[in-house]
């Protein structure tokens, strides 16, 4: 398995995987395309899109976001999706590590995420990466209704 920054040639496979993953945020294709355009470090939103691939092709992706500069910035692990045949094989962990490393390189002090309360496997993964539960948003998710668990990892 290889984890790398996505390129334009990956967009179709990313969108196909996202559409096949019920719990993934379903964004427009233009939003994924915009993640491939490098942003300057002048304070606007910067995003990264990492993909994981194997001999089977694209098997997962992750999205990170940074707003601001340095220790005054905020960062978020926005999305992680792994194909059903590649789950529980370290793909999600490798993608999360890539986003965490990218956010750290952007100079942020911490990275945050939100995850469905019912996603015990994802919560266990994030906890094993050092994320700590910071709070909860009742009934945040719809279809099905679920709470969001807020988690945070200190980077600096």
The domain ranges of the chain are 2-109
Residue 40 contacts residue 85 (beta carbons within 8 Å): no
- Round to whole Å and give the CA distance between 93 and 110: 18
Sheet holding 2-5, edge to edge: 2-5, 45-54, 57-67, 74-82, 110-116, 146-154, 132-141
User: Does the domain formed by 2-109 have CATH 3.40.630.30?
Assistant: yes
> Can you give the three-state secondary structure of 17-85, one letter per residue?
HHHHCCCCCCCCHHHHHHCCCCCCCCCCEEEEEEEEEECCEEEEEEEEEEECCHHHCEEEEEEEEECHH
Question: Could you give the 3-state DSSP secondary structure of residue 120?
Answer: helix
Going by the DSSP 8-state scheme, the letter that residue 140 receives in this structure is E
Torsion of CA 79, 84, 87, 89, to 10 degrees: -130
Over 80: is that where the pLDDT of 41 sits?
no
Going by C-beta distance under 8 Å and a sequence separation of 6 or more, which residues neighbour residue 37? none
Residue pLDDT, tens place only, 70-99: 667 889 999 999 998 888 889 999 999 999
Average pLDDT of the chain is 91
Q: How confident is the model at residue 40 (pLDDT cuts 50, 70, 90)?
A: low
More confident residue, 6 or 39: 6
Give the H/E segment covering residue 122: helix 120-128
């Amino acid at each position: 398995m290889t984890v790398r920054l996505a390129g334009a040639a990956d967009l179709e496979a990313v969108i196909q995987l996202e559409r096949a993953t019920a719990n993934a945020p379903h964004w427009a294709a233009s939003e994924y395309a915009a993640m491939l355009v490098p942003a300057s470090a002048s304070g606007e939103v910067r995003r990264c899109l990492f993909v994981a691939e194997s001999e089977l092709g694209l098997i997962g992706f992750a999205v990170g976001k940074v707003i601001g500069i340095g220790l005054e910035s905020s960062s978020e692990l926005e999305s992680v999706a792994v194909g059903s045949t590649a789950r529980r094989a370290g793909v999600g962990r490798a993608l999360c590590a890539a986003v965490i490393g990218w956010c750290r390189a952007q100079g942020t002090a911490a990275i945050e995420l939100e995850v469905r309360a019912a996603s015990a496997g994802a919560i266990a993964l994030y906890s094993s990466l050092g994320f700590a539960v910071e709070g909860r948003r009742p009934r945040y998710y719809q279809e099905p209704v679920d709470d969001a668990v807020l988690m945070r990892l200190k980077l600096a």
